[in-house]
Protein backbone atom coordinates (compact mmCIF):
# COMPACT_ATOMS: atom_id res chain seq x y z
CA UNK A 1 0.00 0.00 0.00
CA UNK A 2 1.43 3.39 -0.95
CA UNK A 3 -1.38 5.44 0.56
CA UNK A 4 -3.60 4.48 3.51
CA UNK A 5 -7.16 5.09 2.35
CA UNK A 6 -9.67 5.84 5.12
CA UNK A 7 -13.27 5.67 3.96
CA UNK A 8 -15.51 7.96 6.02
CA UNK A 9 -19.16 7.01 5.51
CA UNK A 10 -21.78 9.78 5.67
CA UNK A 11 -19.82 12.49 7.50
CA UNK A 12 -22.62 15.02 6.79
CA UNK A 13 -25.43 12.83 8.13
CA UNK A 14 -23.74 10.89 10.95
CA UNK A 15 -21.27 12.43 13.35
CA UNK A 16 -23.11 14.67 15.79
CA UNK A 17 -21.05 13.44 18.72
CA UNK A 18 -17.70 14.56 17.34
CA UNK A 19 -16.95 11.19 15.79
CA UNK A 20 -15.09 12.81 12.86
CA UNK A 21 -12.26 13.08 15.40
CA UNK A 22 -11.76 9.34 14.97
CA UNK A 23 -10.89 9.80 11.31
CA UNK A 24 -8.59 12.70 12.17
CA UNK A 25 -6.83 10.60 14.83
CA UNK A 26 -6.29 7.70 12.42
CA UNK A 27 -4.97 10.01 9.70
CA UNK A 28 -2.66 12.00 11.98
CA UNK A 29 -1.29 8.96 13.80
CA UNK A 30 -0.51 7.33 10.45
CA UNK A 31 1.13 10.51 9.08
CA UNK A 32 3.23 10.87 12.23
CA UNK A 33 4.60 7.40 11.37
CA UNK A 34 5.51 8.60 7.86
CA UNK A 35 2.53 7.03 6.06
CA UNK A 36 0.62 8.90 3.36
CA UNK A 37 -3.12 9.08 4.02
CA UNK A 38 -6.11 9.73 1.82
CA UNK A 39 -9.51 10.29 3.44
CA UNK A 40 -12.51 9.61 1.19
CA UNK A 41 -15.94 10.85 2.28
CA UNK A 42 -18.90 8.81 1.04
CA UNK A 43 -22.34 10.43 0.62
CA UNK A 44 -25.63 8.62 -0.12
CA UNK A 45 -25.87 7.70 -3.80
CA UNK A 46 -22.16 8.12 -4.54
CA UNK A 47 -19.87 5.42 -5.88
CA UNK A 48 -17.63 3.73 -3.34
CA UNK A 49 -13.90 3.79 -3.99
CA UNK A 50 -12.55 0.49 -5.36
CA UNK A 51 -10.76 -0.28 -2.11
CA UNK A 52 -10.48 0.93 1.46
CA UNK A 53 -7.95 0.21 4.21
CA UNK A 54 -10.11 1.41 7.12
CA UNK A 55 -13.84 2.27 7.16
CA UNK A 56 -15.48 4.64 9.66
CA UNK A 57 -19.16 5.36 10.27
CA UNK A 58 -20.24 7.83 12.95
CA UNK A 59 -23.29 8.32 15.11
CA UNK A 60 -26.52 10.22 14.79
CA UNK A 61 -30.19 10.60 15.64
CA UNK A 62 -32.87 8.48 14.00
CA UNK A 63 -33.45 11.19 11.35
CA UNK A 64 -29.80 10.94 10.29
CA UNK A 65 -29.96 7.17 10.39
CA UNK A 66 -33.03 7.22 8.13
CA UNK A 67 -31.28 9.61 5.72
CA UNK A 68 -28.57 7.05 4.98
CA UNK A 69 -30.50 3.81 5.58
CA UNK A 70 -31.19 2.91 1.93
CA UNK A 71 -27.63 3.68 0.95
CA UNK A 72 -26.33 1.51 3.79
CA UNK A 73 -28.35 -1.40 2.41
CA UNK A 74 -27.02 -0.67 -1.11
CA UNK A 75 -23.37 -0.77 -0.03
CA UNK A 76 -23.83 -3.58 2.55
CA UNK A 77 -22.38 -6.36 0.33
CA UNK A 78 -19.18 -4.35 -0.21
CA UNK A 79 -18.90 -3.64 3.51
CA UNK A 80 -19.26 -7.33 4.33
CA UNK A 81 -16.65 -8.21 1.69
CA UNK A 82 -14.24 -5.73 3.25
CA UNK A 83 -14.97 -7.05 6.74
CA UNK A 84 -14.30 -10.61 5.56
CA UNK A 85 -11.05 -9.46 3.91
CA UNK A 86 -9.89 -8.08 7.27
CA UNK A 87 -10.44 -4.38 6.57
CA UNK A 88 -11.11 -2.78 9.96
CA UNK A 89 -14.56 -1.16 10.12
CA UNK A 90 -15.14 1.19 13.06
CA UNK A 91 -18.84 1.83 13.63
CA UNK A 92 -20.03 4.27 16.29
CA UNK A 93 -23.45 4.13 18.00
CA UNK A 94 -26.14 4.99 15.39
CA UNK A 95 -23.78 3.98 12.58
CA UNK A 96 -23.14 0.68 14.33
CA UNK A 97 -26.89 0.15 14.74
CA UNK A 98 -27.27 0.45 10.94
CA UNK A 99 -24.43 -2.02 10.39
CA UNK A 100 -26.05 -4.59 12.68
CA UNK A 101 -28.76 -7.03 11.58
CA UNK A 102 -31.73 -4.94 12.68
CA UNK A 103 -32.59 -1.66 14.35
CA UNK A 104 -35.97 -1.47 16.07
CA UNK A 105 -37.29 2.02 16.76
CA UNK A 106 -39.07 2.97 19.99
CA UNK A 107 -42.35 2.70 18.02
CA UNK A 108 -41.61 -0.89 17.01
CA UNK A 109 -40.63 -0.22 13.38
CA UNK A 110 -37.82 -2.55 12.29
CA UNK A 111 -35.12 -1.25 9.93
CA UNK A 112 -33.00 -3.93 8.28
CA UNK A 113 -29.28 -3.47 8.82
CA UNK A 114 -26.20 -4.19 6.74
CA UNK A 115 -25.36 -7.32 8.79
CA UNK A 116 -21.71 -6.37 9.05
CA UNK A 117 -22.10 -7.11 12.77
CA UNK A 118 -24.34 -9.89 14.18
CA UNK A 119 -25.94 -7.43 16.58
CA UNK A 120 -29.47 -6.14 17.08
CA UNK A 121 -30.38 -2.79 18.65
CA UNK A 122 -33.77 -1.81 20.05
CA UNK A 123 -34.36 1.85 20.87
CA UNK A 124 -36.33 2.48 24.04
CA UNK A 125 -37.85 5.33 26.02
CA UNK A 126 -34.79 5.80 28.28
CA UNK A 127 -31.70 7.63 27.00
CA UNK A 128 -28.33 6.61 28.31
CA UNK A 129 -26.27 9.76 28.49
CA UNK A 130 -23.05 9.93 30.45
CA UNK A 131 -19.46 8.92 30.82
CA UNK A 132 -18.34 5.31 30.59
CA UNK A 133 -15.36 3.26 31.71
CA UNK A 134 -15.02 -0.27 30.36
CA UNK A 135 -12.30 -2.89 30.19
CA UNK A 136 -11.02 -4.63 27.05
CA UNK A 137 -10.45 -8.40 27.15
CA UNK A 138 -6.76 -7.85 28.03
CA UNK A 139 -7.71 -5.65 30.98
CA UNK A 140 -6.92 -2.30 29.36
CA UNK A 141 -9.41 0.35 30.48
CA UNK A 142 -11.11 2.49 27.84
CA UNK A 143 -13.26 5.54 28.51
CA UNK A 144 -15.70 7.75 26.69
CA UNK A 145 -19.18 9.19 26.57
CA UNK A 146 -22.42 7.47 25.60
CA UNK A 147 -25.54 9.15 24.25
CA UNK A 148 -28.07 6.62 22.99
CA UNK A 149 -31.36 4.95 23.85
CA UNK A 150 -30.50 1.45 22.69
CA UNK A 151 -30.37 -1.93 24.24
CA UNK A 152 -28.05 -3.98 22.06
CA UNK A 153 -27.89 -7.75 21.81
CA UNK A 154 -24.76 -9.47 20.50
CA UNK A 155 -26.02 -12.49 18.66
CA UNK A 156 -23.07 -14.74 19.51
CA UNK A 157 -20.38 -12.11 18.91
CA UNK A 158 -17.72 -11.03 21.39
CA UNK A 159 -18.11 -7.70 23.18
CA UNK A 160 -15.41 -5.06 22.81
CA UNK A 161 -15.27 -4.54 26.58
CA UNK A 162 -16.88 -5.18 29.97
CA UNK A 163 -18.62 -2.24 31.60
CA UNK A 164 -17.00 -0.84 34.75
CA UNK A 165 -19.35 2.18 34.92
CA UNK A 166 -22.06 3.20 32.46
CA UNK A 167 -24.64 1.34 30.38
CA UNK A 168 -23.09 0.30 27.06
CA UNK A 169 -24.94 -2.56 25.33
CA UNK A 170 -26.95 -3.76 28.32
CA UNK A 171 -25.30 -2.61 31.53
CA UNK A 172 -22.66 -5.33 31.47
CA UNK A 173 -20.93 -5.34 28.10
CA UNK A 174 -19.94 -2.60 25.67
CA UNK A 175 -19.50 -2.77 21.91
CA UNK A 176 -18.67 -5.68 19.67
CA UNK A 177 -15.65 -7.12 17.90
CA UNK A 178 -15.88 -9.13 14.69
CA UNK A 179 -12.45 -9.93 13.29
CA UNK A 180 -10.70 -6.57 12.90
CA UNK A 181 -13.96 -4.59 13.05
CA UNK A 182 -15.37 -2.78 16.06
CA UNK A 183 -18.80 -1.46 16.94
CA UNK A 184 -19.16 0.77 20.00
CA UNK A 185 -21.35 3.37 21.67
CA UNK A 186 -18.38 5.39 22.84
CA UNK A 187 -17.77 8.98 21.84
CA UNK A 188 -15.05 11.18 23.20
CA UNK A 189 -14.21 10.87 20.36
CA UNK A 190 -13.28 7.22 20.89
CA UNK A 191 -9.89 7.09 19.17
CA UNK A 192 -8.25 10.32 20.36
CA UNK A 193 -9.27 9.36 23.90
CA UNK A 194 -8.27 5.69 23.55
CA UNK A 195 -5.21 5.64 21.31
CA UNK A 196 -4.67 1.94 22.01
CA UNK A 197 -7.69 1.31 19.77
CA UNK A 198 -6.50 3.77 17.11
CA UNK A 199 -3.16 1.99 16.85
CA UNK A 200 -4.86 -1.41 16.89
CA UNK A 201 -6.92 -0.44 13.81
CA UNK A 202 -3.91 1.13 12.09
CA UNK A 203 -1.62 -1.84 12.81
CA UNK A 204 -4.18 -4.19 11.30
CA UNK A 205 -4.67 -2.00 8.23
CA UNK A 206 -0.94 -1.49 7.72
CA UNK A 207 0.03 -5.03 8.80
CA UNK A 208 2.81 -3.51 10.87
CA UNK A 209 3.72 -2.75 14.45
CA UNK A 210 3.42 0.98 15.15
CA UNK A 211 5.90 2.08 17.77
CA UNK A 212 5.29 5.38 19.55
CA UNK A 213 6.80 8.55 18.10
CA UNK A 214 7.18 11.91 19.89
CA UNK A 215 3.88 13.22 18.49
CA UNK A 216 1.90 10.17 19.66
CA UNK A 217 3.62 10.25 23.06
CA UNK A 218 2.53 13.87 23.48
CA UNK A 219 -1.16 13.39 22.60
CA UNK A 220 -1.32 10.06 24.43
CA UNK A 221 -0.46 11.89 27.66
CA UNK A 222 -3.50 14.15 27.10
CA UNK A 223 -5.62 11.07 26.42
CA UNK A 224 -4.43 9.36 29.59
CA UNK A 225 -5.32 12.46 31.58
CA UNK A 226 -8.77 12.59 29.95
CA UNK A 227 -9.48 8.94 30.79
CA UNK A 228 -8.25 9.49 34.36
CA UNK A 229 -10.54 12.52 34.73
CA UNK A 230 -13.53 10.42 33.60
CA UNK A 231 -12.64 7.57 35.96
CA UNK A 232 -12.27 10.06 38.83
CA UNK A 233 -15.65 11.61 38.10
CA UNK A 234 -17.23 8.13 38.03
CA UNK A 235 -15.38 7.07 41.18
CA UNK A 236 -13.76 4.01 39.51
CA UNK A 237 -10.16 3.09 38.88
CA UNK A 238 -8.64 2.61 35.43
N1 LIG B 1 -25.43 8.25 19.65
C2 LIG B 1 -26.18 7.79 18.67
O3 LIG B 1 -25.73 7.58 17.56
C4 LIG B 1 -27.61 7.52 18.94
C5 LIG B 1 -28.15 6.43 18.07
C6 LIG B 1 -29.65 6.21 18.19
N7 LIG B 1 -30.35 7.29 17.56
C8 LIG B 1 -30.00 6.03 19.66
O9 LIG B 1 -30.55 6.90 20.27
O10 LIG B 1 -29.70 4.99 20.22
Q: Measure 186 CA to ligand 1 centroid, in angstroms.
A: 11
The stretch 186-205 carries a mean pLDDT of 98
pLDDT at 188 over 70: yes
Q: Residues at the annotated binding site for substrate?
A: 127
C-alpha to C-alpha distance for 142 and 120, rounded to whole angstroms = 23
Residues with a catalytic annotation lie at 187
Predicted local distance difference test score (pLDDT) of residue 228: 98
Instruction: Tell me the per-residue pLDDT of 129-166, one tens digit each, with 9 for 90 and over.
Output: 999 999 999 999 999 999 999 999 999 999 999 999 99
224 in contact with ligand 1, CB cutoff 6 A: no
59 in contact with ligand 1, CB cutoff 6 A: yes
Whether omega before 189 lies within 30 degrees of 0, making that bond cis, reads: yes
C-alpha to C-alpha distance for 69 and 62, rounded to whole angstroms = 10
CA-nearest residue, atom 8 of ligand 1: 148
| Domain range 3-234, its CATH number among 3.40.50.880, 3.30.70.260, 3.40.50.9100, 3.40.50.920 | 3.40.50.880
Are β-strands 36-42 and 3-9 bridged in parallel, bridged antiparallel, or unpaired? parallel
Per-residue confidence at 1, pLDDT binned at 50, 70, 90? low
61 in contact with ligand 1, CB cutoff 6 A: yes
The ipTM estimated for the assembled molecules is 0.95
- Domain residue spans in the chain? 3-234
Closest CA to 172 of 188, 151, 156: 151
Amino acid sequence: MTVLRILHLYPAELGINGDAGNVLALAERARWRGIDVETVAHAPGAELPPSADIVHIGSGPLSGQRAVHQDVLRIAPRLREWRDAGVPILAIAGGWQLLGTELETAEGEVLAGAAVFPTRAALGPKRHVGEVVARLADGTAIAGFENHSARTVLEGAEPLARIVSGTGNDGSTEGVVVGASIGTHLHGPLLPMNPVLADRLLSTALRAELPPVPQTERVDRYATNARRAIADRLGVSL
